[in-house]
Every structure is written in C-alpha cells, then in structure tokens.
Structure 1
Amino acid sequence: MTTYPSLPVSTGYISFTIPSTGQPCQTFYKVIGDLSASKILPLVALHGGPGAGHNYLLSLTDLYDKYGIPVIFYDQIGCGNSTHFSDTMGDENFWTIEMFMSELKNVISHFGLQDTGYYILGQSWGGVLAASFASQVPQPRGLKKVVIASGPASLPLYAEGTRALLAELPEDARKTLEECDKKRDYESPEFNVANMVFMKLHCCRLNEWPEKVTETFENIGKAKEAYMTMQGPSEFIITGSLKTWEGISKAHNISVPTLLTNGRFDSVQDSSMYPWFNEISKVKWVAFEKSSHMAHWEERDRYMEVVGQFLAGQ
C-alpha cells in the first residue's frame, strides 16, 4: 500500500464485460482505507458527468480520515483510467443507465460487498445512477444507506431549473449563450467564456477551483462520448438520451435511509430534488447555504460532518 497522502490507498483494475463491444474492458478503482481490516462499512462513490472521472470526489477521503469510513472510488467506463470507447459518440444503445448499473454491480461483486454491506454516494449524474440502482426491486443485496448529492429526480425538472438560472445571468453572458445555442455553437471561445460565468456561479463558487475539480472537466474534454450522448453540449443544454429521464415513479422503491444534499446556488435546484424527498420513505435533506453544485469542496468541513454522521450513525 501507498499513502494518500498519509492514508492507506490501493489501486487496481476490475475486468468488466460489455457484450456489445466484443472486447475486454477494465474499470479503474482507488480505495482509501483497508477494506479487510475495517469494522465500518465502505462507501462506494459514483462520480458525475457522465465522464467526469473520480478525481473531483477525492475530498471524500475526509470521511475515512475523520470517521474511519473506507471509500471506494472508480472511473466509470469511458473516462479517466478506465477503458475508453472513442467510436461510440451518439450511440444511445451503448451509453445507457443499465450499462453503468451493470458496471456498479461488477465493482460491488469484485469487493464482495453484497455479502458484507456498503453505502453509496452518487454526485450529480452519479446521483441519478445511485437512485436508479437503489430503486430496483428487489433492493440490491448489501446496500445499507444512500446519499444522493445534487442528483436530480427528473431531467425535465433539472432543465427547467437551469433555464431559470440562465435568465438571471449577467446580460452579456446570457445573450452570448442564447446566440451560441441558436447557432449550435458550443466550441467557440465566446461560448466557453460565457459558459464559465454559469459554472462559476452554479457549479463551483470557490474563487480558485481545486486542481481535482479542474481535472474533472479535462476528463470530459478528453472523452466526450458518454457526456455528449447522454447529457449534451453543456450542463444547461440537455439534448442527450437522459433529457426525458425521471426517477420519481420508482423512488418509492428506495427503502434504505437516504440523505439528499444540494446547494443554495446549485444547478440542481430544489425543484428537482424535492421529488426524492417526497417519495422516499426514510429520507433527510440538507441544503448548503454557501454552495452550488460541489458542496463537498465549497463547504468541505460541514459537508463531511453531515455525510459522516449520516453514514456512521445508527
């Protein structure tokens, strides 16, 4: 084992089969903590995007440092250190929630967590994945608690919320984004500058973004297949296969204790979080007043306290 920077860390790859590819795939993982020695159940962290990679979730290592909760990070197929598929742009039959759930089940099986028990935290798109997984019938074996962190219950509701946020942007940025959208211009310097105005207000409000957050957007830039196919060209232009997705109709199937988190300035507004609160029976919702989409960085200490106490408590 190495240290990160002074915590036990192990990394490796998990073989994963996607029948339609006709080739072997690998999922990269990083574990903070010693799963064999810990008496506390581990947390499986599901990153956003799709395609963001695990990097920006590494602040969650605080949960091990402060509460002894081991954390299993992994790069979902198509990004980071896992297998990439550069020829799948626009292939909605390949990039599906079901494929990502199969990968998650494979990770859980690799570590034998279905027998020992585990928690899940899904952030942004990862929250959609976590909720989809937890709402299966029967409930996934070994799952004990779920955290849905800024994961919308409905993409139409999410899109409605982002339209309201766009209307409140400074006029020059708003007009630029509107004009670029009309022209389907999502690559120009003008679009990127105006887009960053939105991101600084509603994605991460820290004056200087942590290196791991910056790496997230670099990951998406290097492998856009999943993001473009399922999401679209930006956080507020949803043209991909997820544009009509909703988890509200199955949310009542989530029977384990569930924590919802989002930020006051979040791109995932309260309107798209409320259905989870309304439909899940054992649920708690904490909104972070000084945060947008990344409360795990923006209000890091308080965030870890809220999540740590939820997971570690009885």
Structure 2
Amino acid sequence: MAAPVTEGTAKFGDYQTWYRITGDLSAGKAPLVVLHGGPGCTHDYLLPLAAIAETGRAVVHYDQIGNGRSTHLRDKPPEFWTVQLFLDELKSLVDTLGIAGRYLVLGQSWGGMLAAEHATLQPPGLRGVVISNSPASLELWSAEADRLRAALPPEVEETLRAHENAGTTDSEAYRDAMRVFYDRHVCRVPWPDELSRTFAAMDEDPTVYHTMNGPSEFHVIGTLRHWSIVDRLGAITAPTLLISGEHDEATPATVKPYHDHIADVRWEILDNCSHLPQIEDTERFNTLVTEFLDTCDA
C-alpha cells in the first residue's frame, strides 16, 4: 500500500508555511525534512524523494515562505529575505510538527546550503544531514559557473553576456541561451512535470529568486552573492552525506570544502547526472539516501 499523504499549514509568525507529509510521523524511524532549492523554488521537483516513505520513514516536503503554496510576500524589501528568515522557518516547522526531538534534513542546492547552516547550530534532535548539489561558497559557485560557461558554444555565451550587460535577462533570447546551460548542467533528461511546475511557479512569482540569487543559476547578482559557510563547517557534528553529479553546476570545487571540514562526512558523485540526480537517476539517489539515513537511525 502507498504511504498516506497529508497536507497542512504551519503558522510562522504572521505567515503560513505549507507542508506535505508522506508516511507517518510517529513511525519508528526519524522523519526526513526536505529543503528545496532556489532560494525561490518549490517542493515539486523534489517529490521523487517521497518514495523513501515506503521504507517506513516519513518524508516532509514544504514550500519555503514566499514560494509555492506558502505565504507570498511580493512587496517585502530585499533586506527581509535573509538566511536567518529561512532558518527560523525551518525551526518553526520542525517544532510545529512535533519532531524536534528526532529528525533528519535533506537539502538540495540552496536547500543544502540552508541545511548546512541549520547543522552548524547543532540542534540536539538533528540525527543526520544530506547536502545535495550544493556549493559551500557562492563566490566559488560563480567562478565555476564562468568556467562552465566558457565551454558553451561561443554564440550562446555571447548572447548570455550581451543580455546580462544590457539588463535584458527577461528576454526570450536569454532564456533560450540559458536553457543550453541548463540542459548540460541542471537536468540532462527530459524535464518531468514536477520540474516544469517548479519553474512555472518561479516565473509566476520570482521575488525570492531574483532578490537572493539573480536572473539565472549562473548569473548570481542577488543578496546571497557573497555567502559562504566554509569557515563554519567545523561546527557541523551530525553525520553528513554529500551528493553531486558528474556534470553538476555544483562542481567538485564548490562541494569540496564540505568534505574537507565536516568531521563525519562521505561524498558520492553520481555518473551521468548533473544538478538534479533525484530526477536523473531517482532509484540510485533514493537508495543512497535511504542507506545513509538508516545508519543515522542506528
């Protein structure tokens, strides 16, 4: 039988955080809380992880504030959108669901950055962390993005640069050129509906993504552009699994600081995958995650 699915909202200050639980939170295994990327994406593209609930572990997806089915705040100024805001929201959700005494987190891309920030605080109930396709520094990320862009067809890179310099990154030509990069380094298989839904939601309300990141994955000009956790990674004591893809925009150079500075860590690089291995090789990804989470329970 398929694991039951329940949906609801958790109060977060004056706002509401929407969540989806697959499985039973009261089951014996520690629940897994899934943190989506962006900042500014939605939970949809991470729904392949819901299958982990078939192992008897509840899986919690949620839309971070400003996105998806949670409260939208289009008029908030840039200074409202901070890492601390999303850390506070995560803590609020864990407390509301009554799982603060024993839980795990998996963050993908920006979600992995947020998961690492959360882990540096050493919450007593955190049993393990999965950091998937995430950089430890956005300056490293931008430098590596420039390297990957240099390998694009010259006319594609010229189009990207021209529109970035002109401030016309909302043009169709920029989007077409952007997709060439995305098809190499973000998702190398036909985009499933859950990924298309995520991008459609971002297009409908790009407030968070444009404010904190920028107009694309490789043109980071938002408020997070100088973010780094490298000098704080030694504070992470929870067992940690790193996952990245062979063709990932989160290149080995951007992930390596996690491996170098977290005491209890392992790193898996998935062949033939890029930034979304949970979509590109779902079975392999979920098996890796499940096996790691089971060791955290033990």
Contact 1:49 1:220 in 2 (8 A): no
Query: What per-residue deviation string (whole Å, max 9, x for no partner) do you get for residues 215-259 of structure 1?
Result: 111111111111111101110111111110100111000001000
* Cα shift at 1:114: 1.7
TM-score, normalised by the number of residues in structure 1? 0.92
* Cα shift at 1:209: 0.6
2-side partners of 1:78 and 1:92: how far apart? 12
Q: How does 1:275-314 map to 2 (within 5 A)?
A: 275-313=257-295, 314=298
* Cα shift at 1:112: 1.6
Equivalence for 2:158: 175
1:126 corresponds to 2:102: no
Among 25, 28, 36, the alignment partner of 2:15 is 25
Aligned length: 296
Q: How does 1:115-154 map to 2 (within 5 A)?
A: 115=101, 117-136=102-121, 139-154=122-137
Equivalence for 1:83: 71
2-side partners of 1:178 and 1:303: how far apart? 34
Equivalence for 2:49: 60
1:70 corresponds to 2:52: no
Equivalence for 1:20: none
Equivalence for 1:21: none
* CA RMSD, Structure 1 to Structure 2 (Å): 1.0
Query: What per-residue deviation string (whole Å, max 9, x for no partner) do you get for residues 34-84 of structure 1?
Result: 112x1111100000011111001000012112x222100000000100000
Contact 2:188 2:273 in 1 (8 A): yes
SS at match of 1:241: coil
Equivalence for 2:33: 44
Equivalence for 1:191: 174
1-side partners of 2:222 and 2:175: how far apart? 20
% of aligned pairs identical? 39
SS at match of 2:128: strand
* Cα shift at 1:141: 2.1
Letter of the structure 2 residue corresponding to residue 127 of structure 1:
G
Among 92, 95, 113, the alignment partner of 1:106 is 92
SS at match of 1:78: coil
2-side partners of 1:68 and 1:151: how far apart? 27
SS at match of 1:243: coil
* Cα shift at 1:183: 0.9
2-side partners of 1:260 and 1:303: how far apart? 11
Q: Give 5+ residue unaligned stretches, structure 1.
A: 18-23
1-side partners of 2:12 and 2:231: how far apart? 30
TM-score, normalised by the number of residues in structure 2? 0.97
* Cα shift at 1:179: 1.2
2-side partners of 1:92 and 1:187: how far apart? 20
Runs of 4 or more consecutive aligned structure 1 residues displaced over 2 Å after TM superposition? none
1:163 corresponds to 2:163: no
2-side partners of 1:186 and 1:199: how far apart? 15
1-side partners of 2:137 and 2:19: how far apart? 29
Letter of the structure 2 residue corresponding to residue 93 of structure 1:
E
Among 217, 224, 227, the alignment partner of 1:235 is 217
Letter of the structure 2 residue corresponding to residue 275 of structure 1:
P
1-side partners of 2:148 and 2:239: how far apart? 31
Contact 1:266 1:291 in 2 (8 A): yes
Contact 1:119 1:146 in 2 (8 A): yes
Query: What per-residue deviation string (whole Å, max 9, x for no partner) do you get for residues 165-220 of structure 1?
Result: 100012221111111112121011110100011111111000x2110011111111
